[in-house]
Structure 1
């Protein structure tokens, strides 16, 4: 059954101000797991103790590409200690988008993760679907060049949609290599620029995406809202309400 987690970047200001209290609120809302992006000075032991107390799973961690490349062993060790096996490249700056070089580095990082029982994933934005890597999209090129046992997919379905592709088709294409998706909604302004919104308040076909994710045996659907026009905590609460309504209508998700 598909489990529902939260990318804590949505609550970045709250996390910085009150790390422990914010995680308590996330657990109280009913999220089953959390995806980290920063630890705000807490040791792995401190984080693990708090997660155990709250019954939360560390489902993944977005860590800077440079950190994963240059401090691989330390990144793996910290995450294994908190119970997380998914180390995720979250973003490439424009200067980093030499995809041939990135693919070679992902193989190196992926080998080190595999040796320690961890898994490397890559999280997309829209540019991987508009940039080219040879005669392919950068998205497809990276996953074709790096073997599946060294690199798994964390698909941000909203950015696939925004880039003009069918997120359901992409989920089906990468089924079996796709342990995590990001579940996000957006609406477009008149100039075409996107604004992330609470689930169900935008244009993304979230039900079709979740249905496809269940069929593809995705383990986690991670709620994320890059920017919130109202309270971030209220926003992630309302997004979870949407997921619960989907579950009540027969959706095979654990909430």
Structure 2
């Protein structure tokens, strides 16, 4: 069984990326991350970004692309991904105003399905990234999360699972990883606890409630390609937090992987 790739979701470093994208990416590469998942390109042309990534030895495996951007210029987004060498176009979020009813969810699933058909036709894969709200509604007696991925085959929407949000929603992330084995190339690898009001607090890896080592084993068995480190909100400077989380991965996984 091969070792999982270790990537970083750059949303964690959104402020640093906005200030100086190139130096931030250089820092990420120097820390030892093998790949990155984008959440915006900050005006950088695709060919220039590809050249920088190649220089740094970073693999751009995917990007979070808003539904608005998919709707406005699907082909442009896919062309950008192809140029930087990414395989995965990911819907990262659905605005609250678009998910207030079952009918809205049905429409969203149909829209994502149509995007997936075109994306997959062009040699990429369309993935959907969850939060907790996909477990707040049911469509045809199953959670929206599962309804999103009900269609299988070449035109399927595939899975980018955020284990932190799955667990926060009261579900078992290990069971869900196993359920979507073979359809789960990217796994958001996060840790969290809850505050006094029961709200989510994202933490550096190893400081929260997620059974991270069991998640890694389940991910390997499910055919996951990349563990994607992410921390939505950091209590320390984000560059420090992503370094500390990577150190946890090195200590508990990459440096001891057989």
* Interval containing the TM-score (normalised by the shorter chain): over 0.9
Deviation string for 1:41-68 (max 9, x for gaps)? Answer: 0000111000000000001100101211
Assess if the C-alpha contact under 8 Å between 2:188 and 2:227 holds in 1.
yes
1:84 equivalent to 2:86? Answer yes
Question: Hey, what does 2:162 align to over in structure 1?
Answer: 156
TM-score by length of 1: 0.95
Question: Hey, what does 1:99 align to over in structure 2?
Answer: 105
Deviation string for 1:139-198 (max 9, x for gaps)? Answer: 001111465643110000000010011100000000000000000000111211110000
Question: Hey, what does 1:50 align to over in structure 2?
Answer: 52
Count of aligned pairs = 252
In structure 2, the CA distance between the partners of 1:209 and 1:251, relative to structure 1 (3 Å rule), is farther
Q: Tell me, what secondary structure is at the counterpart of 1:35?
A: strand
Choose from 181, 184, 188 the match for 1:182. Answer: 188
Choose from 31, 35, 38 the match for 2:37. Answer: 35
Please, what is the CA RMSD of the aligned residues? 1.3
Question: Hey, what does 1:120 align to over in structure 2?
Answer: 126
Shift of 1:221: 0.5
Runs of 4+ in structure 1 deviating by more than 2 angstroms, as ranges, are 145-150, 248-252
Between the aligned partners of 1:110 and 1:143, the Cα distance in structure 2 is 11
Question: Hey, what does 1:109 align to over in structure 2?
Answer: 115
Equivalent positions of 1:1-255 (< 5 A) are 1-97=3-99, 98-145=104-151, 147=153, 149-247=155-253, 250-251=256-257
Shift of 1:208: 0.6
Shift of 1:99: 1.5
Between the aligned partners of 1:55 and 1:248, the Cα distance in structure 2 is 18
TM-score by length of 2: 0.94
Shift of 1:115: 1.8
Q: Tell me, what secondary structure is at the counterpart of 1:229?
A: coil
Shift of 1:247: 1.8
For structure 1, the 5+ residue unaligned runs are: none
Assess if the C-alpha contact under 8 Å between 1:181 and 1:221 holds in 2.
yes
Shift of 1:70: 3.1
Q: Tell me, what secondary structure is at the counterpart of 2:149?
A: helix
Task: Tell me which moved more, 22-31 or 141-150.
Answer: 141-150
Shift of 1:130: 2.0
Between the aligned partners of 2:155 and 2:206, the Cα distance in structure 1 is 35
Task: Tell me which moved more, 145-154 or 16-25.
Answer: 145-154
For structure 2, the 5+ residue unaligned runs are: none
